[in-house]
Amino acid sequence: MVQCPVCQSKSLDNQVKFCTTCGWNLTPNSDQLGQAPEPSMQKEKLKLSWAKQMWQRFQSKQQEFQKLQQQRLTLLNHVQSQLEQANLEKKILETQLSTISFKLEKKEQQNRQLQSQLQQTNRERQEFQLQLSLTQLQLQKEEQNNLKLQYQLQQTVNNYNQLQSELEKNQEEIANYEQAITELQANSQISESRPQRKNYWQLSD
């Protein structure tokens, strides 16, 4: 079994040349066999120490990266859920909008009907006003006619009264004449001894 001096990962294969985790060269070289001179050993130790540091830094960076990745995922989920919520709200709003649009359309239709009715009513009102003014004109004419007739009636009454008084006068005169005739007849009876003469209307007989 071989353990990597840099990343400490183990491999069961003794013949493996490079670490499968960090890629460190695992083959034992002449230096590592203790045949190398002291400065070369020192150099090798420094190289290993540097590689370990680098590996730890890489590990810590990777952890940071994973943490960021996790945060990113959380954020993404959050955004996703917000997006779904927003989509749901959008659908609700769309439904509401379509309902309102439908109502608006209905209202506009009612409005058009009312306007048409209003126009019709206006036309009827104008016609009625025209008839009213015509009727008023006729009424004025009738009133004038009435006055004329009243005047004529008054004239007729005046004429009648005049005729009545003339009639009374005539009747009075007739009464006077009758009185005179009676008196004359009385006088004629006194002279009855005288021969009777025929009246002029009896001469034709």
Shortest Cβ 42–Zn ion spacing (Å): 22
Beta carbon nearer to Zn ion, 50 or 151? 50
Question: How many angstroms separate the CA atoms of 151 and 119, rounded?
Answer: 48
Among 11, 21, 41, 44, binds Zn ion (CB under 5 A): 21
Number of Cβ within a 10 Å radius of residue 19: 21
Please return the burial class of 112, using the count of CB atoms within 10 Å of its CB with bins 0-12, 13-18 and 19+. exposed
- Applying CB under 5 A, among 2, 24, 44, 52 the residue interacting with Zn ion is 24
- Please tell me whether residue 11 binds Zn ion under the rule CB under 5 A: no
- Residue among 60, 57, 54, 67 at smallest CA distance from 23: 54
- Least separation in angstroms between CB 78 and Zn ion: 38
Which residue has tokens 């001179």? 37
172: number of Cβ within 10 Å: 10
Residue 21 or 36 with smaller CB distance to Zn ion: 21
- 4 touching Zn ion, by CB under 5 A: yes
CB of 68 to Zn ion, least distance (A): 25
Binding-site ranges for Zn ion (CB under 5 A): 4, 6-7, 19, 21-22, 24
